[in-house]
Amino acid sequence: MFFYPENDDFRSKELVTTVPQMINEDINNLFKKPTYLNNSVFKNETHDPPIFSEWLKNMSAADGILLTIASLSVSFVLSVGMGCLYFVRKYISNESSRHAMTWIALMLPVTATTSLLGMYFPRSASFLHIIGTCFLMICVTMVIRLMKSLFKGEIGIIEYMALNDLNFELKYLPFLCCIKIPSLKRCKKNFKILTLLVSQTVFVQIIGRMCTIIAFLENSYKHQKIYDISNITCFISIVISVYASEVLYRVSKKNLSQYKFGIIYIIVHISQTLFSLQEVFINVLQKFNIIEPGFLVYPEIRTLYLASFLFCCESFILVLMLFFAVNPNKNKMCDRYVSSEEKSSRITSKVELNELTHMKNEKLINNNNSYPVKYPSQLTDTIAIEEEPKKVTYFF
């Protein structure tokens, strides 16, 4: 309802007639803005990643070859990993060492399986990648726990450093190699600080991955920014963790060589680095359009697909290294294991003991048999005395 003025002024009529047009245009603009936002900002939101059946039907030949190679690699990793787990559970008697080594033995089978499942199920790839990341971070803390148990606690580490006049050296290649930094004194406080620097990556990785998944599921238009920030923070966290663990590893390298601790340490940290950083480098290649998402729609899912394939192939080599490191023949951590040489020596010692006891018994028998020959008169007297008839007296 509009009020028209009484005078027939041209300007007033023009104002009144233009008001409804302006209102209609404003209303149309209000309804057009959401469609404009949907077409520009959320243009990829209408296409979801493919489900399992669609992905297997429509994947390219190259993706099919990668999936087949990854499946064969993971089957080998699972079989060898179960062998490592058998060695750990049967031949290690120390409970804390056995507990830590159980996590480490399951590390490659679990992470390789989650990577392979992420290749089969693209929609769940991010969630499965978080599970693998969490398991790897737990294994990083288990390496420090294994070192403590082999030294019989923090006090044992400090005492070993005091006997050998060692401190926590902070200058290692490629970390801080060009800067003069004094070494940290050997004390419990500094040891706990270094262990915290190692374990901080667990929480940083989990929080960063969870933020990425939440942004992805909520269809946030800032998803790419959150993804980049998460990758940068995770990269910095991993570098700090590797540096702190390297400082601790240098202290225990010589003393724990008989337990193959150095090889176990290297396997765990190589697995962590490859699992986390390969995704970052592949994402950089996608920024320069070297790799395209293809049928997977989202570049993040294509990144996880390629990173998962690489890790499945790399875990094939790492699990072989772990198998030889846990081999009871060469690792003194497996104190319950008895080698074939020790078994043969034990058998020969038992045979010798049986022979000795048999010889002793034979000597005793021979001595008993030769006793009447040595003392014949005494024996005859005693026999004669025993055989004499008893005299009976009668009293009437």
Q: Residue 42 and residue 294: Cα distance in Å, rounded?
A: 18
- In a domain, residue 45? The reply is no
Report the CATH number that the domain containing residue 106 is assigned in CATH.
Answer: 1.20.1070.10
Residue 184 CB neighbour total at 10 angstroms = 16
| Residue in 39, 48, 108 with CA at minimum distance from that of residue 79 | 108
313 and 365 in a common domain: no
135-157 residue pLDDT tens: 988 898 899 899 988 888 888 88
- The mean pLDDT values, 10 residues at a time, for the chain of 396 residues are 45 46 46 40 53 86 92 96 93 91 95 94 87 88 89 86 85 67 84 88 84 74 74 85 85 85 90 86 81 70 89 94 91 82 57 65 66 51 49 49
- In a domain, residue 34? The reply is no
Q: Residue 30 and residue 100: Cα distance in Å, rounded?
A: 62
301 and 285 in a common domain: yes
Domain that residue 369 falls in: 341-387
- In a domain, residue 112? The reply is yes
Contact 338, 329 (CB under 8 A): no
Task: Please spell the DSSP secondary structure of 246-303, one letter per residue.
Answer: HHHHHHHTTTTGGGTHHHHHHHHHHHHHHHHHHHHHHHHHHHTTSS--GGG-SHHHHH
Q: How many domains does the chain have?
A: 2
- In a domain, residue 65? The reply is yes
239 and 110 in a common domain: yes
145 and 209 in a common domain: yes
86 and 192 in a common domain: yes
Q: Is the overall model pTM greater than 0.75, yes or no?
A: no
Q: Residue 274 and residue 138: Cα distance in Å, rounded?
A: 16
CB-count exposure of residue 136 (10 Å: 0-12, 13-18, 19+) = buried
357 and 222 in a common domain: no
356 and 212 in a common domain: no
- In a domain, residue 300? The reply is yes
350 and 245 in a common domain: no
Q: Output DSSP code: residue 122.
A: G
| Residue in 98, 101, 105, 109 with CA at minimum distance from that of residue 131 | 109
139 and 160 in a common domain: yes
Q: Cα(first)–Cα(last) distance of the chain, in Å? A: 170
241-265 residue pLDDT tens: 888 888 888 888 888 888 989 899 8
- In a domain, residue 32? The reply is no
244 and 374 in a common domain: no
